[in-house]
């Protein structure tokens, strides 16, 4: 592949990931879900409860109703339910971070038997090729300034933004995996884990980046073969939030993640360089 072709593909992918509120593509009408799984392996099963208190927290984001899939943008916010800011036990910000070594992520499906992979399934239209990730969800991005346009500040952001060179057909009745991640919370590494006294957290979608485009809330974004974007809502109220030790929280039983709220429009600082 020539350097020019690589450049053209990269530019095309980044352009299709640019934010749009339009919902008229091939995936209009799709629905997203977020679950706890019993294990980060192909033997893991869906946990019925929205709240867990286990040592290992395994999260899976899925989507149903796809017709043609080229890429996705998924943004999850993690926030403390009882303390000020994200507990150190959840701050997996890479090498040297408080929870370094206790975090892993898959930008697809943990259990491909339950949820075929939206990007890499070999059935229906086949594997999406030429994938470029402008946000790879490799760690919890700890947002501690107003430029993150998240309120309250000091929260965690897991952000996957990826698309391929072309869209592939998908089966609308199949629920596909898009993003999975896990935290180990029994190691005694930091404040907020089980050995140090658990601090409850909430995980919820909040499509908010880039800040300048306006908050879309409980949604993710898909891109199809025509580079058309669809804002896909998470199924509410039961499949748009998760909590860990959420019993500590006195809020609404239908959505105890009410503390994760959008802020007013502001600049998006360091994040904007990814879209230059």
How confident is residue 146, by pLDDT bands cut at 50, 70 and 90? low
Answer whether the bond into residue 116 is a cis peptide, omega within 30°: no
pLDDT digits (tens, 9 = 90+) for 165-184: 999 999 999 999 999 988 89
Whether residue 20 has pLDDT greater than 70: no
At 136 the three-state DSSP class reads strand
pLDDT digits (tens, 9 = 90+) for 230-267: 999 999 888 999 999 987 655 555 555 654 443 333 33
pLDDT of residue 271: 29
Whether residue 214 has pLDDT greater than 80: no
Whether residue 109 has pLDDT greater than 60: yes
pLDDT more than 70, % of the chain: 73
- Give the tokens for residue 35: 């679950």
pLDDT of residue 230: 96
Highest mean pLDDT among 97-101, 151-155, 195-199, 236-240: 195-199
Q: Is 116 exposed, middle or buried (0-12, 13-18, 19+ CB in 10 A)?
A: buried
- Cβ-based neighbours of 254, under 8 Å, separated by 6 or more: 237
pLDDT of residue 54: 94
pLDDT of residue 17: 52
Answer whether the bond into residue 237 is a cis peptide, omega within 30°: yes
How confident is residue 163, by pLDDT bands cut at 50, 70 and 90? very high
Residue 271, φ and ψ in degrees, nearest 5: -65, -30
- Catalogue the long-range contacts made by 40-48 (C-beta closer than 8 Å, 24 or more residues apart): 40/104, 40/106, 40/110, 40/180, 40/182, 41/110, 41/111, 42/110, 42/111, 42/112, 42/113, 43/111, 44/110, 44/111, 44/114, 45/111, 45/114, 46/114
Q: Where are the domains of the chain?
A: 20-275
How confident is residue 96, by pLDDT bands cut at 50, 70 and 90? low
Is this model's pTM higher than 0.75 or not?
Answer: yes
CA-closest candidate to residue 32, choices 156, 204, 168: 204
pLDDT digits (tens, 9 = 90+) for 27-72: 999 999 999 999 988 889 999 999 999 999 999 999 999 999 999 9
- Catalogue the long-range contacts made by 145-148 (C-beta closer than 8 Å, 24 or more residues apart): 145/269, 146/263, 146/266, 147/211, 147/266, 147/267, 147/268, 147/269, 147/270, 147/271, 148/211, 148/268, 148/269, 148/271
Mean local confidence (pLDDT), 17-24: 52
* Cβ neighbours around 136 below 10 Å, total: 13
At 139 the three-state DSSP class reads coil
pLDDT of residue 158: 87
């Amino acid at each position: 592949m020539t350097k020019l072709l690589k450049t053209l593909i990269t530019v095309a992918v980044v352009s299709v990931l640019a934010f749009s509120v339009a919902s008229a593509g091939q995936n209009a009408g799709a629905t997203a879900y977020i679950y706890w799984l019993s294990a980060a392996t192909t033997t893991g099963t869906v946990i019925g409860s929205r709240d867990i208190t286990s040592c290992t927290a395994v999260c899976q984001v899925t989507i149903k109703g796809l017709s043609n899939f080229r890429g996705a943008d998924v943004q999850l916010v993690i926030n403390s339910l009882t303390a000020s800011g994200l507990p150190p036990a959840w701050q997996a910000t890479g090498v040297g971070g408080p929870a370094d070594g206790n975090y892993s992520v898959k930008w697809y499906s943990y259990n491909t038997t339950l949820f075929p992979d939206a990007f890499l399934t070999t059935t229906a239209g086949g594997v999406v090729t030429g994938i470029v990730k402008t946000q790879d969800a490799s760690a919890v991005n700890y947002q501690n300034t107003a430029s993150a346009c998240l309120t309250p500040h000091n929260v965690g952001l897991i952000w996957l933004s990826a698309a391929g060179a072309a869209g592939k057909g998908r089966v609308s009745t199949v629920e596909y995996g898009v993003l999975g991640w896990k935290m180990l919370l029994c190691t005694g590494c930091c404040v907020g884990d089980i050995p140090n006294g658990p601090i409850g957290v909430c995980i919820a979608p909040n499509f908010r980046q880039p800040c300048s485009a306006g908050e879309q809330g409980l949604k993710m974004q898909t891109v199809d073969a025509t580079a058309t974007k669809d804002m896909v809502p998470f199924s509410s109220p039961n499949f748009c939030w998760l909590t860990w030790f959420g019993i500590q929280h006195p809020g609404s039983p239908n959505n105890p993640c009410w503390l994760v709220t959008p802020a007013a429009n502001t600049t998006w600082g360091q994040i904007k360089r990814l879209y230059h």
